[in-house]
Amino acid sequence: MAHDTKDGAATILFNISAVERETGLSKDTLRVWERRYDFPHPVRDDNGDRAYTTGQIAKLRLIKRLLDQGHRPGKIIGLDDEHLERLVTEPAGDQPPRQDIAVYIRLVRSHQALELRRHLSQAMARQGLQKFVVDTVAPLTRAVGEAWMRGEIAVFEEHLYTELMEGLLRNAITALQPQGNAPRVLLTSLPNEPHNLGLLMVEAMLTVENALCIPLGTETPVTEIAQAAQAHRVDMVALSFSSAYPESKAIDALRELRSLLPDSTLLCAGGAGIARIRRRLDGIQLIIELEKMCELVRQWRAEHSSY
């Protein structure tokens, strides 16, 4: 959509759904930031709906990338583009980029889906499922996301990677059958949290640990999560939060869910969005590293070994 500026030039405007697709930031997040930080500051189109410029989209991409690196939104949203660019390009350390990750990225960009699947399948067979998730899937997914935010990978290429990786993990999970003293773990995310790959990564890790996972997919309302936990008699509930999910909203939802679950049901929350939460939340396990979920399953099994 074109919009005439004060000097008579035309600029391209995007509706909020397009911005969500282009940046990976949910509509809800954009509205919260608009109220709280006065950015993004959209204009209104002829229908009175929010409309965003290409410059705002570019800045939102930088912010999303910095959130993925662990920055807090309140500290960076007010910075100008030049400052954001400097933060993004600051060296992360002396460790050189991994060659295998570079190969995978090149295969994504050259649209060699079959070759990418073959390489990843070989890596999974060589590493084992848990090590594959931690040492390959996690860093590769971050690298794909960063390449997308830099404009080096198109949206359709990122989607293809995600679908391919989800398919590999689902096939690996299906081949495993929990047996014996297996805790029941419900996996899902809250509304406006549509990313499923993180949940599949957790499911793969826990299935190797002989947990019986009950995946609900994404975007499940809090009350429905509580009902599902009761219906399936689960021992644990695990939620995933991306870096763009508003911190205060995540805390409120977790506390509400905690109040709806039995005290005996363990409530866990993980993902990049959880890393920003500094306060202690009573009755809620905040998971920064995937391996911590495996430790919780082992702890549960030790406590219930006599049952």
The overall average pLDDT reported for the chain is: 86
* Main-chain phi, psi angles of 255, to 5 degrees: -65, -40
Q: Which residues contact 173 (CB under 8 A, 6 or more apart)?
A: 200, 203, 204, 207, 213
Predicted confidence (pLDDT) at residue 244 exceeds the cutoff of 90: no
What is the pairing mode between strands 266-270 and 2-4? unpaired
At 300, the amino acid letter reads: W
Query: Could you tell me the two tokens for 287?
Result: 């998971």
pLDDT score, position 94? 45
Q: Are 17 and 27 in contact (CB under 8 A)?
A: yes
Q: Which residues of 96-108 are buried (b: 16+ CB within 10 A; e: fewer)?
A: eeeeeeeebbebb
In CATH, which of 1.10.1240.10, 3.30.9.40, 1.10.275.10, 3.40.190.80 is domain 99-174?
Answer: 1.10.1240.10
pLDDT band at 235 (very low <50, low <70, confident <90, very high): very high
* Mean pLDDT, range 254-278, rounded to an integer: 90
Q: Are 212 and 177 in contact (CB under 8 A)?
A: no
Q: Who has greater pLDDT, 264 or 149?
A: 264
* Mean pLDDT, range 88-112, rounded to an integer: 79
Report domain 2-89's class: mainly alpha
User: Across the beta sheet with 2-4, what order do the strands follow?
Assistant: 2-4, 10-15, 50-53, 43-44
Tell me the domain boundaries of the chain.
2-89, 99-174, 184-303
Q: Are 89 and 55 in contact (CB under 8 A)?
A: no
Q: Are the folds of 2-89 and 184-303 the same? A: no
| Biggest alpha carbon–alpha carbon distance for the chain | 77
Q: Are 271 and 240 in contact (CB under 8 A)?
A: yes
pLDDT score, position 233? 95
pLDDT score, position 6? 46
CA-based torsion, 10, 16, 19, 23: positive or negative: positive
Query: Could you tell me the two tokens for 95?
Result: 């460790």
CA 265 from chain centre, in angstroms, equals 24
Q: Which of 83-87, 204-208, 276-280 has the highest mean pLDDT?
A: 204-208
* Mean pLDDT, range 109-130, rounded to an integer: 95
In CATH, which of 3.40.50.280, 3.30.465.10, 1.10.3720.10, 3.40.50.970 is domain 184-303?
Answer: 3.40.50.280
Q: Who has greater pLDDT, 301 or 116?
A: 116
3-state DSSP of the chain: CEEECCCCCEEEEEEHHHHHHHHCCCHHHHHHHHHHHCCCCCEECCCCCEEEEHHHHHHHHHHHHHHHCCCCHHHHCCCCHHHHHHHHHCCCCCCCCCHHHHHHHHHHHCCCHHHHHHHHHHHHHHHCHHHHHHHHHHHHHHHHHHHHHCCCCCHHHHHHHHHHHHHHHHHHHHCCCCCCCCCEEEEECCCCCCCCHHHHHHHHHHHHCCCEEEECCCCCCHHHHHHHHHHCCCCEEEEECCCCCCHHHHHHHHHHHHHHCCCCCEEEEECCCHHHCCCCCCCEEEECCHHHHHHHHHHHHHHCCCC
pLDDT score, position 306? 60
